[in-house]
Structure 1
Amino acid sequence: MPTPIITRSGYLRLQKEHDHLWRIERPEVTKKVAWAASLGDRSENADYQYNKKKLREIDRRVRYLRKCLSNLKVVDYHPQQEGKVFFGAWVDLYRESDDQSLSLRVVGYDEIFGRKDYISIDSPMARALLGKQVDDEVTVMIEGRKSVWLIEEIRYDTDDKL
């Protein structure tokens, strides 16, 4: 089970998605379902079937977001975090073995979808990074391969500060 924490910006994004689905998309789709139902035979009515399915998807996502938002704990930035990797940190990494650079942000599970530069606090990389500072080497085992990274920079977003 993922750790139930989230950055303030992530929480606000989920809240905005919920509000948009509930106040804008759902009423529009509900009107389309009602209109299509008024046309008669629903078994062969593609508009009715499509919009009814879309309504179920919206309702499923709204239920998930409501449950999620009530269970998540928002973790804000605190000045004591400066200089070390903690939740919400952006970390610039470098791997000498293949001259690869990487910039990642350690966030909650519900924030990683659709973002290649976000990693879950529960991931092996995030666990290895926590508490480290600039110029520390971090060794991560992923899929049986050992990878050594050097921390080049640590920073925090200003939108997640108190």
Structure 2
Amino acid sequence: MSKAFTRESDGDDDEDGGAMPAVPAGTKNYITREGYDRLRAELFGLIDEERPRIVEVVHWAASNGDRSENGDYLYGKKRLREIDRRIRFLTKRLEIAEVVEPSVHHGRDQVFFGATVTYCDESGHETTITIRGIDEADNTQGQVSWVSPVAQALLKAREGDEVRLMTPTGWRQIEVLRVSYPTPANG
């Protein structure tokens, strides 16, 4: 069979690229407006800017003749596959996204999506986290996904409640100290 009829692939094209975890079956893809806008901007940046630029490079490289040893062509084709995979992933995630406005809970002491929660463990160590969507949580910023074990333990708890958290070392008791939400925008 001619090589022209074989599928170029360096992985499974149906993969999400490994960038973000899967949305649990039967749940919604909750996300804040900021997170949604960030993913949407990335999608349009890929479609409107990066993909056309790489297509142009691949077209130029292909016009140079022998493609089998043409680094620009080979790298460009590989990069196009990566971009197309990311575009498919972002499109699917945005289609199922449910934008939630955490500020609607401003002033409440119960933990819901978007809450910033300070809790204390049995040893007295305080930790502050913000519960975000799967596609936007950044643990370097103190953000956790709403499906994470700590968020699942805290959801619907109130200030002063003690909840059980399953950790790799076993069950731990944590106490909710403070719950806050962003201030609603005056519109």
Please indicate the TM-score interval, normalised by the length of the shorter structure.
Answer: 0.7 to 0.9
1:40: Cα distance to partner? 0.9
Q: Is residue 62 from structure 1 mapped to residue 87 from structure 2 by the alignment?
A: yes
Match of 1:7 among 26, 29, 32: 32
1:35: Cα distance to partner? 1.1
Q: Contact 1:9/1:160 (CA < 8 Å) preserved in 2?
A: no
For the residue of structure 2 that corresponds to 1:22, the secondary structure is helix
TM-score, reference length from structure 1: 0.87
Q: Match for residue 161 of structure 2?
A: 136
1:53: Cα distance to partner? 0.6
Q: Match for residue 134 of structure 2?
A: 109
Q: Match for residue 89 of structure 1?
A: 115
For the residue of structure 2 that corresponds to 1:110, the secondary structure is coil
Deviations 1:100-154 (A, max 9, x none): 3322121222223x53422222222111111112222222012351122222221
| Structure of higher RCO (CA pairs closer than 8 Å, 6+ residues apart) | 1
Identity score, percent: 42
**Quick one: structure 1 residues 95 and 158, their matched pair in 2 at CA, closer, same or farther if it must change by over 3 Å?**
same
Q: Aligned ranges for residues 71-90 of structure 1 at < 5 Å?
A: 71-77=96-102, 78-79=104-105, 82-90=108-116
For the residue of structure 2 that corresponds to 1:87, the secondary structure is coil
1:96: Cα distance to partner? 3.9
Provide the rounded CA distance (Å) in 2 between the counterparts of 1:36 and 1:140. 55
Q: Which runs of 5+ in 2 are unaligned?
A: 1-22
**Quick one: structure 1 residues 42 and 14, their matched pair in 2 at CA, closer, same or farther if it must change by over 3 Å?**
same
Number of aligned residue pairs: give it.
Answer: 160
Q: Contact 2:106/2:181 (CA < 8 Å) preserved in 1?
A: no
For the residue of structure 2 that corresponds to 1:21, the secondary structure is helix
Provide the rounded CA distance (Å) in 2 between the counterparts of 1:73 and 1:81. 23
Provide the rounded CA distance (Å) in 2 between the counterparts of 1:160 and 1:11. 17
Deviations 1:23-58 (A, max 9, x none): 111111111111111111111011111111111101
Structure holding more helix per residue: 1
CA RMSD of aligned residues (A): 2.2
TM-score, reference length from structure 2: 0.76
Q: Match for residue 173 of structure 2?
A: 148
Provide the rounded CA distance (Å) in 2 between the counterparts of 1:14 and 1:23. 14
1:161: Cα distance to partner? 9.0
**Quick one: structure 1 residues 14 and 158, their matched pair in 2 at CA, closer, same or farther if it must change by over 3 Å?**
farther
